[in-house]
Amino acid sequence: MRKLNEIFDTNYDIEVKDIKTNTKEINEGDLFVCIKGFNVDRHDFVEEAKKKGAKALVVNHKVNSSLPQIIVDDTNKVLPDIAVKFYDYPSTKMKMIGVTGTDGKTSTATIIYQLLNQVTKCGYMGTNGVQSPTYKDNSNNTTPTVEHLNRFLNNFYQDKCKCVCMEAGSEGLAQGRCKNIEFDYSIFTNLTHEHLNFHKTMENYMLAKSILFKQTKKEGTCFLNIDDPYSKEIAKLCNGNVLYYGKDKNADFRFTDVNITPEYTTFKLEYKDKTYNITSPLLGMFNVYNLTAALSLLIIEGYDINKFDLSILYVDGRMTDISLGQDFRVIIDYAHTPNGYLNLFELTKTLKANRTIVVAGSAGERDREKRPVMGKILVDNADYVIFTYEDPRSEEIDDIIDDLTKEVMDKQDKFERVIDRKDAIKRAIEIAKTGDMVLILGKGNETYETLKNGKIYFNDIEEAINALKEVIKVNS
């Protein structure tokens, strides 16, 4: 609850309960900020906002409404300032950690969250929602919109969190959702072909990612993956101190002697004159990078990483093994980019399955250029692929699958199309035989699918369990 004259240079001595930019979320007593989106101008919804209980408006121009109006030059530009003032600058009251990159954001942020909660109280925001050990909320975006972001940060502070680890997506950064936040630590995982429908070029994509590092405090630290070619360019744009991690001999934090088994991963982590022996249940070379980034941050923060329990690490929706006693493996993973697929197959080939059966799709209204590349990687590395939908939005599913199969039409014996994702998951599990591996890719533990008419509830893990139960029942 804040008074308008505490946020704006105005004579309105009116208390408002919260900030909203979407009339669907408005409650009695809220302030409605009329932002302009790509397709929607919220100035057109002031009467609906009033009916739902809005107490005042922030607008670009005077509108036909009896509600008090605060006129600004650009509602989109002032929204971040309004949000931080309304919630009393919550990010300044906690240690802020940001993670960005094409792949590895969720895993790295989750690892940091799980480890820090062994020694303090930490919050997390990202693909897997908004949470602390004693607080949970939902977000529609990897990086929440600016008013939601500051509300969540305030809730974390009220929940007595001492730090927050958040994923910073390129679109969210480019749209200013993280504006006015200064980060104590920032991490760059990698940069590969993704989101070019929005950014248009890889340079623009890289520059969007670099916003996180420009917003890192001068006394803060930027951890960059030295093995990614874009790290040198990003280093030039960092405001904080730069430290590199990776396998390159020039890395400040260098991993060596990697050993990946079907049960665990081990490696050595070298920093200055110390060597740490790391053992983790997180599998794959990509997780060696994720772990190294997370542990590097903890070391710089002053912790003895030998005292942390790495055995509890688990990333929701990444390499989630579903077992109901069947004689083949079913694994759910969030991989949804060309690089993500390559990393995943590098790992799964060490698991020694008879056949690898994959269920996958590609998001609609997103980067179309990557689809033929993705489809080829899938067909070249799996024994059989079932192409289906994955958040098609308003795009025709058949058109998306046409893009995915464009480069593999000479290998039609290695794939099929099953439009309905539930049926695709069921089909993969039904055709699996002893010793096979079913990989269900793209959604991880997300609980929705975005279709032409909006979102529906859908969870790959639940669908896989249901399909397994049916197969086991039939065979018993």
Domain that holds residue 102: 90-312
Amino acid type, 42: R
Q: What is the pTM of this model?
A: 0.90
* Residues 178, 119 share a domain: yes
14 three-class SS: coil
Q: How many domains does the chain have?
A: 3
Q: What's the confidence (pLDDT) of residue 59?
A: 96
Amino acid type, 343: N
Residue 113 sits in a domain whose CATH number is 3.40.1190.10
Both tokens of 128, joined, read 């897997």
Both tokens of 339, joined, read 């690089």
Question: What is the average per-residue pLDDT within 430-448?
Answer: 95
pLDDT in tens, 334-383: 999 998 999 999 999 988 899 999 999 999 988 888 999 999 999 999 99
d(CA 13, CA 217): 36
Q: Which of 243, 267, 265 is nearest to 253 (CA)?
A: 243
pLDDT in tens, 87-144: 999 999 999 999 999 999 999 999 999 999 999 999 999 999 999 999 999 888 888 9
463, 422 Cβ separation under 8 angstroms: yes
pLDDT at 194 over 70: no
* Residues 353, 468 share a domain: yes
Residue 200's alpha-carbon distances to 194, 328, 361, 385, in angstroms, are 10, 42, 22, 29
pLDDT in tens, 272-299: 999 999 999 999 999 999 999 999 999 9
Helix (H) or strand (E) holding 451: strand 448-451
* Residues 339, 298 share a domain: no
DSSP state of 41: B
Which has the higher per-residue pLDDT, 459 or 317?
Answer: 459
* Residues 238, 104 share a domain: yes
d(CA 297, CA 292): 9
Residue 352 sits in a domain whose CATH number is 3.90.190.20
d(CA 470, CA 461): 14
* Residues 118, 52 share a domain: no
d(CA 372, CA 394): 20
d(CA 234, CA 211): 9
Residue 21 sits in a domain whose CATH number is 3.40.1390.10
